Amino acid sequence: MQLHKRDVVDAATSLLDSYGIADLTMRRLARELNVSPGALYWHFANKQELLGAVADRILESVGDVSGGWRDRVAGTCGRLRDALLSHTDGAELVSASFAAGQSDAMARILTQLSGAAADAGVDPTHAELAARTIVYYVLGFTVDEQSRLQWDAAGAELPDEQSVLSDDPSARFEFGLRLLVDGIAAHSDSVVGGRD
Confidence band of 159 (pLDDT split at 50, 70, 90): low
Asked if residue 40 and residue 110 are part of one domain, the reply reads no
Q: Report the CATH number that the domain containing residue 119 is assigned in CATH.
A: 1.10.357.10
Q: For residues 146 and 152, give the distance between their C-alpha atoms in angstroms, rounded to a whole number.
A: 10
Asked if residue 36 and residue 87 are part of one domain, the reply reads no
| pLDDT of 133 above 90 | yes
Provide the residue count of the chain: 196
Asked if residue 71 and residue 168 are part of one domain, the reply reads yes
Q: Report the CATH number that the domain containing residue 40 is assigned in CATH.
A: 1.10.10
Q: What is the DSSP string of 3-54?
A: --HHHHHHHHHHHHHHH-GGG--HHHHHHHHTS-HHHHTTT-SSHHHHHHHH
- Asked if the structure places residue 92 within a domain, the reply is yes
Contact 87, 15 (CB under 8 A): no
Does residue 152 or residue 133 have the better pLDDT? 133
Residue 36 has phi, psi (to 5 degrees) of -80, 150
- Asked if the structure places residue 26 within a domain, the reply is yes
Domain range for 128? 57-192
Contact 37, 27 (CB under 8 A): yes
CA geometry: angle 54, 57, 59, nearest 5 deg: 115
- Asked if the structure places residue 49 within a domain, the reply is no
| pLDDT of 151 above 90 | no
| pLDDT of 98 above 80 | yes
Asked if residue 68 and residue 20 are part of one domain, the reply reads no
* Mean pLDDT of all residues belonging to the chain: 89
Mean pLDDT of 72-100: 96
- Asked if the structure places residue 50 within a domain, the reply is no
User: Which pLDDT tens digit goes with each residue over 22-62?
Assistant: 999 999 999 999 999 888 999 999 999 999 999 999 999 99
Asked if residue 119 and residue 82 are part of one domain, the reply reads yes
User: Which pLDDT tens digit goes with each residue over 20-31?
Assistant: 999 999 999 999
- Asked if the structure places residue 51 within a domain, the reply is no
Asked if residue 99 and residue 126 are part of one domain, the reply reads yes
Asked if residue 84 and residue 34 are part of one domain, the reply reads no
| pLDDT of 161 above 90 | no
Mean pLDDT of 157-173: 69
Confidence band of 160 (pLDDT split at 50, 70, 90): low
Which of 48, 61, 170 minimizes the C-alpha distance to 109? 61
Please give the tally of structural domains in the chain. Answer: 2
The whole-model pTM stands at: 0.87
Which of 151, 102, 109, 99 minimizes the C-alpha distance to 134? 109
Q: How far is CA 110 from CA 19, 73, 95, 177, 196, in A?
A: 29, 10, 13, 16, 19
Asked if residue 89 and residue 27 are part of one domain, the reply reads no
- Asked if the structure places residue 70 within a domain, the reply is yes
Q: For residues 60 and 54, give the distance between their C-alpha atoms in angstroms, rounded to a whole number.
A: 10
Mean pLDDT of 153-176: 71
- Asked if the structure places residue 39 within a domain, the reply is yes
- Asked if the structure places residue 94 within a domain, the reply is yes
Asked if residue 90 and residue 147 are part of one domain, the reply reads yes
Asked if residue 180 and residue 99 are part of one domain, the reply reads yes
Q: Would you state the pLDDT for residue 148?
A: 80
Asked if residue 40 and residue 69 are part of one domain, the reply reads no
| pLDDT of 196 above 60 | no
Q: Would you state the pLDDT for residue 3?
A: 85
Buried b (16+ CB within 10 A) or exposed e, 171-196: ebbeeebeebbeebbebbeeeeebee
Asked if residue 91 and residue 26 are part of one domain, the reply reads no
